[in-house]
Amino acid sequence: MNRRRRIYEGKAKVLYEGPEPGTLIQHFKDDATAFNAKKHAVIEGKGVLNNRISEFLFERLEEIGVPTHFIKTLNMREQLVREVEIIPIEVVVRNVAAGSLATKLGLEEGMQLPRSIIEFYYKADELNDPMVSEEHITAFGWATPQELDEMMQLAIRINDFMVGLFLGIGIKLVDFKIEFGRHYENDHVNIILADEISPDSCRLWDTQTSDKLDKDRFRQDLGGLLEAYQEVARRLGVLNQNRPATGAGPVLVASNNPTGSPS
Ligand code: UDP
């Protein structure tokens, strides 16, 4: 397996050449990094959980008509995905103030935002992924106005869907980061969701206890990262490693928010 051609190695994943043209194998590593890789650790089992969680979320998103790169899971750590040209923009969607937004604007962490907010960051490690505006993105040609429009519409759909999905299992979706790619097929180019969605790239808080069930456990040295990711996987109904290709689905939990609206 290791003689496969490695196309790209990132902080938490490796991309290998796929079995057919136009496909890649996305391998989830156990590495955890933060602060642009200044902090690093290996947390055994994290890659397996992220593979499962991301697979589940991408499958559910496909079901509601969000095009994604996901084709199928190959094994505990690997997925077969469509090859795309990654758009060098991280799209962050926020529902609740936390992280860099709370710091930058002096907001109290946990404050419900007046509405969901989309932000863009230019993917450039050497520049620490600076925040950029739509103007920068189109002026420098990182994405066309049409592509940007499509990315924003998809980001809103993904957020609306995931807020509800997580609320149903007692988790508040505070914010998350997604990436898109151009998928070339015959004469068409489509914008599709790529990369991953996992507790590495989302902020997920227990609705009852406000416990952090995401990578902030690592960033803030809270400990218990693997247990938190396991809890997310368990509530999504994807913890059983030997389950058939489709999981039992999310486990509904009682909500302290009977209106069902994001709080
Ligand atoms: N995020 C990510 N990768 C990054 C930066 C951020 O997945 O390189 C996610 C992060 O986990 C959070 C959201 O994007 O869910 C917003 O992150 P923020 O801008 O607050 O940055 P941070 O505080 O993580 O530096």
- CA-CA distance, 237 to 232, in Å (whole number)? 9
pLDDT of residue 256: 54
- Residue 260, pLDDT above cutoff 50: no
As a whole number of angstroms, the longest Cα–Cα distance in the chain is 53
Centre of ligand 1 from the C-alpha of residue 244, in Å: 32
Centre of ligand 1 from the C-alpha of residue 4, in Å: 31
| pLDDT mean across residues, the chain | 93
Residue 258: pLDDT band by 50, 70, 90 thresholds?
A: very low
Centre of ligand 1 from the C-alpha of residue 60, in Å: 23
- pLDDT tens readout for residues 111-138: 999 999 999 999 999 999 999 999 999 9
Least Cα distance to 78 among 8, 15, 2 occurs for: 15
20 and 33 in contact (C-beta within 8 Å)? no
- Residue 263, pLDDT above cutoff 60: no
Those residues whose C-beta lies under 8 Å from the C-beta of residue 87, and which sit 6 or more positions away, are 142, 143, 147, 151, 179, 180, 181, 182, 191
- CA-CA distance, 120 to 123, in Å (whole number)? 9
Angle at alpha carbon of residue 244, lines to 224 and 181, rounded to 5°: 70
Please report the domains of the chain, with CATH numbers, ordered by start residue.
Answer: 88-206 (3.30.470.20)
Centre of ligand 1 from the C-alpha of residue 242, in Å: 32
- Indicate whether residue 59 lines ligand 1 (CB < 6 A): no
- Indicate whether residue 203 lines ligand 1 (CB < 6 A): yes
Q: Ligand 1: which residue has its CA nearest to atom 11? A: 201
Atom of ligand 1 nearest to the CA of 214: 11
- Indicate whether residue 120 lines ligand 1 (CB < 6 A): no
